[in-house]
Amino acid sequence: MKNFIVDGENLTLQNLMHIAYHPGLKLQLSEESKIRMKKSRKWVDQVQKQGTPVVYGVNTGFGSKATVSIDKEKLKDLQRNLIMSHSAGLGNPLAIEVVRSAMLMRVNTIAKGYSGVRIEVAETILDMLEKGVTPWIPEQGSLGASGDLAPLSHMALVISRGVVRDKSEDSGQAYFYDAKKKDWILMSGLEAMKKAGIPRIVLEAKEGLALNNGTQISTSILAVTLHRAQKLLKLADIAMAMTLEALEGISSAFREEIHQLRPHPGQISTARNIRRLNEGSQLLDRHPEKVQDAYSLRCHPQVLAGVRDALRYIGDIVHIEFNATTDNPIILPELSEKNKAISGGNFHAQPIAFAADHLAMVLCEIGSISERRIFRMSDKHLNSGLPSFLIENGGLESGLMMAQYTAAALVSENKTLAHPASIDSIPTCENQEDHVSMAPIAARKALDILQNVEKIVAIELFFAAQALDLRLKQNTGHAAKNMFGKGTLCAYNKIREYIPFFTMDRPLYPHIESLVQLLQNGELLTAVEGVIGELS
């Protein structure tokens, strides 16, 4: 992708993530969106000029101050004051890709033409995305209604300036992408915009509210998490397939005939992935006296069925949200009545909160079943003839013992994190905003769980590669290419490019971290899919 047209209608997760991770792409508004934006803006301009009718957030105060009328001479100050006063976030900064995807989503909702915003506001954000200016946004402070007010205000601080003054301390902070160093450098928003050659704008009536009143931060965190979860799900299948071979498991549990009798789409897809990964393996079905494996092996397709199917549902939710109008009030220029602004609640992020909590829950199960397989490989009573903790000189050497502890700790942490945020609500704004979604908290928890599960799956891959090497030693004279499955061989070879077979104790953490990086950068998945084709 070299360029992308923003039209308010056709943003996908794939396009969103590509743009989020790749500054420099040419971005522009569609001509149709410009026409729509001009129509709604024309009416807001009339209200700004005439002072009537009364429109929430245009010539009134905000929240419980909606009954306070604002003089038309002060409407620009009203919007700038909104952004400055609402920049109240705290905590660690959101990741660059989260902020960039939120920026693009914000433009996409403005491009629908119901926000009453000038074209130059949307184009300023697109220029920032293209030229590598990313606002610094703290992760804490939003309730997910009325939109993600605090974090989006931090974004708008960088974009906008005061009518008279333009001081760095009022411009927030932003990262500027240094293309030569290929690195993001933090500085004031004013300095970052100057480096990029992008003028900051004076907000007109409605524009501050249109920038900070929406679900884009919550949705962006969820979108980034979902995108990574889709990849992690395939990697979990790769780890499972390697473990199945390492434990000399039984292939019949993955036969198509079984899964067609209970045709959950995710179950069928998972079983198919395992069959493809293990195709040609000489380590499976070696013990006719053993008729079935433990649940953590045999039931992998059934457990991940719920995960895969949940991800499809969550994908539908975020796709709707990408291409929705989520601010308030909404300007409908085609209305016949004089007041063409309608106040509603499209900023309320409850659908996103529910989806994020659902994602958190199903991600926990990927880690939980993976840890049980890790434990199985470590236990000499359960691992079909391998040494304790996958080290040959047990007692003197502890091998991979402690890595299983780490996986267990992460699984337990995830159970705590999985408590739903979406069922909580705290009234705010003098009880005008008396029910909120907590969507950003739900989304952040889902991301935390995802990162923990990536580590758990990396540990399973660590164990499986070690166990497979021990199997080779038991089968003297047989090479990996003649013993392992087509897909598992590729995964094993890629892992061995980064971490060695352990013959004695050494610190484990650098090797686990290397595997986590191998998962996150996509190199392992790309290598496997390059051999056996794309996994479901």
Which active-site residues does the annotation give?
Answer: 56
In the numeric block, the tokens 């989006």 are attached to 152
Give the number of C-alpha atoms closer than 13 A to the C-alpha of residue 235, restricted to the C-beta side.
Answer: 33
Look at residue 27 and give its three-state secondary structure: strand
Query: Which of 435, 428, 443 has its CA nearest to residue 354?
Result: 443
Maximum alpha-carbon separation in the chain: 89
Structure tokens at 421: 């945020």
The answer to whether the Cα torsion of 21, 26, 29, 32 is positive or negative is negative
Q: Which amino acid is at 498?
A: Y
Give the number of C-alpha atoms closer than 13 A to the C-alpha of residue 146, restricted to the C-beta side.
Answer: 23
CA–CA dist 218, 317 (Å, integer): 12
CA–CA dist 135, 154 (Å, integer): 7
- Identify the burial level of 232 via C-beta atoms within 10 angstroms of its C-beta, where 0-12 means exposed, 13-18 middle and 19 or more buried: buried
DSSP string, 180-208: TTTEEEEEEHHHHHHHHT---EE--TTHH
- Identify the burial level of 533 via C-beta atoms within 10 angstroms of its C-beta, where 0-12 means exposed, 13-18 middle and 19 or more buried: exposed
Ramachandran sector of residue 372 (left: φ over 0; alpha: ψ -120 to 50; beta: rest): alpha
Structure tokens at 507: 């610190």
Q: Which amino acid is at 207?
A: E
DSSP string, 150-187: HHHHHHHHHHEE-SS---GGGS-EEEEEETTTTEEEEE
Q: Which amino acid is at 517?
A: Q
What Å distances lie between residue 479 and 246, 287, 357, 510, CA to CA? 14, 21, 45, 28
Q: Are 155 and 99 in contact (CB under 8 A)?
A: yes
CA–CA dist 233, 515 (Å, integer): 16
CA–CA dist 313, 319 (Å, integer): 10
Ramachandran sector of residue 283 (left: φ over 0; alpha: ψ -120 to 50; beta: rest): alpha
| φ, ψ dihedrals at 386, nearest 5° | -90, 155
Give Cα 172 distance to the centre of its chain. 24
